[in-house]
Amino acid sequence: MRLLVVVGTRPQLIKAAALLPALRRDHDVRFVDTGQHYDEGMAGSFFGELDLPRPDHTLEVAGGSVADQVARMLLALEPLLIAEAPEAVVVIGDTNSTFAGAMAAATLGIPVAHVEAGLRSHDRRMPEELNRILTDHLSSLCFAPTPTAVANLATEGIRDGVLQVGDLMQDLAARVSDGVRDPAELDRVAARPGWDAPAPRQGRYLFATVHRAENREIDAVRAWSALLGDAASGERPVLLALHPGTRNVMERLGAALPPNVHAVPPQGYRTTLALQLHAAAVLTDSGGVQREAAWLGTPCLVLRGTTEWVELLAGEGGRMVMVGLDRDLATQALARLAPLDRAAEDARRRAQTVRVESPRAAEAINEALIRGVRGR
């Protein structure tokens, strides 16, 4: 089958790295990058690190409002789809690129296969939530990662073409996790150009990411910055992998990070996994980082009021806590999950014993596509 796979952001590149080898074994695949994450630090390094082939087509559609960006993607994708004439278009996740790929294909009568279908935060203020819902209702095949995602689709009347396949990101984490067990990985991180922060020591730092649109509002920036400041100390600093969009907002607002909270450049996939594994705890608003922390067994504080990955909260033995931007909740959670007198030993033990199992999601998706795309 001739397939066209559309990506545009850093998390989608991670998932594509897990999926494309399986698809290319049995299909004629065209790989399209919309350019939604245009920063080389955010996306470019992933191609070499993950053995991901360069896209067949790069659209360079970046910046602007949601409406502007999606409109430009649609204008670029329509003639490309007509020229390539794929039998199906595969879209991944919940970004503007996901929705634009699905919409462009659906308007041309091309079946859409949505990877990570059915996820719901039930918060329609999030652009990602709208993208998920719209994409699922445009799709002929919905590849759901969890039982809850399947149930969400059924609630919305989507039952045909739904298949629970597991999580592509777990496929890749299973492939890479053994290679980041050695705490010497942290020495290599600190030796890289552009690292202007204390050298991370196993179990003696906190790793953080903040990038969601709602956390770029002025009140939110002040709130999460204060929360990270409370969590940080001289003996346990916070290393914040700062998204370029978040950095731009902070610069525009004139917002400075508190003492002992250190901004570091966005890291590659392997490095991010290593920084999570060896941290005392992770603080994040990222769905991908939430899942990686859970598979690695690292305590995680979710800096959001909702999450689409509800199984993680229920199934991780209390190691994952949704604290939003509540400083008191965060302080209490860290005291319980990563106390200063125990966190280093916990991190050492975790690194020695971690084992991430692959759900073989890529194989399940590929086998379903081989059987053919069925319209609902």
Is position 83 within any domain?
yes
Please check whether residues 162 and 272 belong to one and the same domain. Answer: no
Answer for the pair 190, 199: CB distance below 8 angstroms, yes or no.
yes
Please check whether residues 247 and 206 belong to one and the same domain. Answer: yes
Is position 376 within any domain?
no
Please check whether residues 182 and 96 belong to one and the same domain. Answer: no
Please check whether residues 366 and 349 belong to one and the same domain. Answer: no
Task: Please spell the DSSP secondary structure of 19-51, one letter per residue.
Answer: HHHHHHHHSEEEEEE--SS--IIIIIHHHHHTT
Is position 95 within any domain?
yes
Please check whether residues 312 and 190 belong to one and the same domain. Answer: yes
Query: SS3 of 350, please?
Result: helix
Is position 35 within any domain?
yes
The pair of structure tokens assigned to 221 is 């920036």
pLDDT for 368 beyond 90: yes
Q: Which amino acid is at 18?
A: A
| Residue written as token pair 């409109």 | 71
Is position 163 within any domain?
yes
The alpha-carbon radius of gyration of the chain (Å, integer) is 20
- Per the structure, the complete domain to which residue 190 belongs is given by 177-353
211 is annotated as an active-site residue: yes
Please check whether residues 145 and 74 belong to one and the same domain. Answer: yes
With cut-offs at 50, 70 and 90, classify the pLDDT of residue 358.
Answer: very high
**266-298 confidence digits (pLDDT tens):** 888 999 999 999 999 999 999 899 999 999 999
Q: Which amino acid is at 319?
A: R
**191-242 confidence digits (pLDDT tens):** 988 888 999 999 999 999 998 888 988 999 999 999 999 999 999 999 999 8
Is position 184 within any domain?
yes
Q: CA dihedral defined by 248, 269, 11, 276, rounded to 10 degrees?
A: -80
Please check whether residues 92 and 238 belong to one and the same domain. Answer: no
Higher pLDDT, 249 or 276: 276
Judged by phi (left if over 0) then psi (alpha if -120 to 50, else beta), residue 251 lies in alpha
User: Mean per-residue pLDDT for 171-196?
Assistant: 92
Q: Which amino acid is at 343?
A: A
Tell me the pairing of strands 162-164 and 206-210: unpaired
Sign of the Cα pseudo-torsion (188, 189, 195, 196, in order): negative
pLDDT for 374 beyond 80: no
State the DSSP code for 328.
H
Number of structural domains in the chain: 2
State the DSSP code for 204.
S
Is position 321 within any domain?
yes
Please check whether residues 83 and 229 belong to one and the same domain. Answer: no
Please check whether residues 181 and 91 belong to one and the same domain. Answer: no
Query: SS3 of 88, please?
Result: strand
Q: Round to whole Å and give the CA distance between 20 and 366.
A: 9
Is position 172 within any domain?
no
With cut-offs at 50, 70 and 90, classify the pLDDT of residue 10.
Answer: confident
What is the value of pTM for the model shown?
0.89
Please check whether residues 282 and 233 belong to one and the same domain. Answer: yes
Q: Round to whole Å and give the CA distance between 33 and 40.
A: 13
Please check whether residues 209 and 261 belong to one and the same domain. Answer: yes
E-strand ranges in the chain read 2-7, 28-33, 57-58, 88-92, 112-115, 141-144, 162-164, 206-210, 238-242, 261-264, 281-284, 300-302, 320-322
Active-site position among 211, 243, 262, 278? 211
Please check whether residues 146 and 184 belong to one and the same domain. Answer: no
> Residues of the chain with pLDDT > 90: what percent?
76
**26-85 confidence digits (pLDDT tens):** 999 999 999 887 555 555 566 777 778 889 999 989 888 889 999 999 999 999 999 999
CATH number at 278 reads 3.40.50.2000
With cut-offs at 50, 70 and 90, classify the pLDDT of residue 373.
Answer: low
Which of 358, 309, 367 lies closest to 141, judged by CA?
367
